[in-house]
Amino acid sequence: MEPIIRLAHKEDKPFIEEIARLTWEGEDYLASVFDEWLKDGNFYVLELDGKVIGTAKLTFLPGKVGWLEGLRVHPSYQKRGFGRLIQNFMLHKGNELAEKGIINALEFSTYFLNKESIAMAKKDGFKIVERFYYIQRALGEEEEPTLSRINSLDELDYEGYIPYSWKFLHKCEESLNWLTKKAEVREYKAYKFFYALIHENEPTFTPFKLSIAAIKNILPAMSFETRNIGYDSIDIMLPEEKQDLIELLKELGFKNWTDFKEPDVLVFRKELV
């Protein structure tokens, strides 16, 4: 039978769970976000002979962005052109939405060693627009923070993009409204941070202020929230322009997959109009 791409159904969950178990050494977040993505819509699967062997999701983000995520192909079916098939489908979907004026561009983020996806994206006209270091630290002393809110984008010490787990938002008023509805915002010792719920993506933290004093002061609060949501490390997306903080972050116990040799999370964008 020919492969088909269709909207995901709740009955697809066992197939998605299998793909997640076999991806990133079993640490893929795909299974945990399945129900949320199904509810949100624009969640697609590639079916072959009655089995789901691939996935892709398009999420609408502020700034008329169509955010691509969750592009996966079951390991047993990789290197057979299925990734390209899904990518082409999503590009076509993006162009349809652009013609209707719903989005102006497609964006996505990926690990810098995901060479096959990066090569395919560049061939399709995507360009790197931002780079981040994915930094992690073990849990430590815990203190409960208070609930808080984002009052203004001026509170956020970021330039072009604001990290929300593996999604990255343009710094615009629409993003403020989006984050007000979705982000879990906390405050501790007059410093604020937010994170995404675990059913939406991996729970990375976004400190409002990118300084060693701010990050050091909220470590107990981030440890508390991390354990509370059942995660095992404090994860932060550090913008490339803040690399001057790296040596001090190492002293605080933060590590990086590449030992900070270069930014390892890339944000791509393709203009559609």
pLDDT per position as a tens digit, 107-128: 999 999 888 889 999 999 999 9
Phi then psi for 218, rounded to 5 degrees? Answer: -95, 0
pLDDT at 201 over 70: no
pLDDT at 236 over 90: yes
pLDDT at 138 over 80: yes
Per-residue pLDDT, 200: 66
Q: Residue 227: how many CB atoms within 10 A of its CB? A: 12
Tokens for 35, please give them.
Answer: 């129900």
Average of per-residue pLDDT across 50-61:
96
Q: What is the overall mean pLDDT for the chain?
A: 94
Average of per-residue pLDDT across 244-270:
96
Question: What is the pTM (predicted TM-score) of this model?
Answer: 0.93
Tokens for 273, please give them.
Answer: 């109009």
Q: From 241, 244, 242, 222, select the one nearest 233 (Cα to Cα).
A: 222
| pLDDT band per the 50, 70, 90 thresholds, residue 150 | very high
